Amino acid sequence: MLEVFGLVLLATGLWLWHDSLKAREAGVRASRSACDAHGLQFLDDTVAIDSIWPARDDFGRLKLRRVYGFEYSDTGNNRCRGAVTLVGDAVVTLHLGPPPLRAL
C-alpha cells in the first residue's frame, strides 16, 4: 500500500513539473512577443513564478493559475517589471508596467 502511495505521489510531482514547464514556456513566448510588439527589450529571456493557485478555465475545468513576473527595458539602461497570468497554459492577462519617469 505504501508503494502505491509513493508511486502516485511521484506521478503527481512529475505531472506538476511537466505542466509547469509548459506554462512557463507559454509565459516566456507571450512576454517576449508583447515586448517585441511595443518595441521593448525583454530582459534575461525568462519569467519567474510569483504565485500559483487553483482556478477554473472558461469551460469550468480545474486548472492552475500562475502569475509570472518578468523584466523589460525601453532604453536598455533601466528595468521595468511586467507580469503575465496563465490559467493552465493559456495566457489570460499580460501587464506591462508604466514607463519610468525621466528627469527633466
Residue 98: pLDDT band with limits 50, 70, 90: confident
Share of the chain above pLDDT 70, in %: 94
Q: Within a domain: residue 51?
A: yes
What was the pLDDT predicted at 81?
Answer: 94
What was the pLDDT predicted at 2?
Answer: 84
Average pLDDT for the chain = 91
Q: How many domains does the chain have?
A: 1
Q: Within a domain: residue 101?
A: no
- Tally of CB atoms within 10 A around 76: 8
Q: Within a domain: residue 22?
A: yes
Q: How far is CA 85 from the centre of its chain?
A: 6
Q: Within a domain: residue 102?
A: no
Which ranges of 1-104 would DSSP assign to H, the alpha helix? 2-37
From 47, 55, 51, select the one nearest 67 (Cα to Cα): 51
Q: Within a domain: residue 12?
A: yes
What letters, b where the CB count within 10 A reaches 16 and e where it falls short, cover 16-31?
eeeeeeebbebbbebb
pLDDT digits (tens, 9 = 90+) for 60-79: 999 999 999 999 998 888 89
Q: Within a domain: residue 104?
A: no
**Mean of pLDDT values over 18-24:** 94
What was the pLDDT predicted at 101?
Answer: 65
Residue 8 domain boundaries? 2-96
Q: Within a domain: residue 65?
A: yes
**Mean of pLDDT values over 19-25:** 94
